[in-house]
Structure 1
Amino acid sequence: MPVKSISQLRSELAAKERQLATLRARRTRLAKELQSVERRIAVLEGQPASRRGGKKVTRKRVVRRRATGKPLAAYISQVLAKAKNGLSVTQVVKAVTAAGYKSHSKDFYAIVAKTLLTDERFQRVKRGVYKLAG
């Protein structure tokens, strides 16, 4: 194995560092060119260009408040007052919406069922059937 002097090793190291710098610059240039090509392809395909990096913007959920009218529990007690033997949750849902309660909920049945379970004004007669307590 040939022995190299320190000056030869330094010159080799400098040459390798120059090569590395040029290769990194080329990689950066090619990456930019590739992004440009991908954007043009996306435009031609009719798709928006994909976002790389950056933060995703999260939006706050808008919570709608009841503008007017009584609370749901008041509508339910009004409906159950007319039924002596009680009503099923499905019947309560239909009666409450027929009485004029407006809901934007995706699962209104679950909200009515939860209200019937948690509110002390309502008593469970049997599975899925509720009446006014007392």
Structure 2
Amino acid sequence: MPPRTSLLPSNINVRYLYFFATHGFWLTILLLVLINFLLSCILSLSPLAILPAHLIALRTLLGDPTASFRSREQALAIPLIMDRKLDLLVIMPTGMGKSVLFSLPPLLEEDKLTIVFVPLVALVADHMRRLTECGISVAEWQG
């Protein structure tokens, strides 16, 4: 039997490759969180310009004429979502307004379709009620 050849350079330790293969998912998540943090630091240095249409849509959605965006990240994400030029991953803690990020586009662009996957059944009815109250037609698909 001929000797087995390896595609790996001889200086790469197999233990390190095993570590990456088993921990690669978590390293990827850590890297994404780090990138998000660095981008938020960089963006926090730039002036924030909130478009009047976005603020009006937010106030309509929340039913509060004095409402404003909860965080700088939330306000920065809306124009990026509406531009539709980039894939966007927004990581925000509970209660920081992630629902607003998928609820505002249908208010701002009535001729577009927005598909939302809601992993928690308890949130589906609440989201559907709030969007219907804003005049957005919604449908639920259960599979």
TM normalised by structure 2 equals 0.24
TM normalised by structure 1 equals 0.25
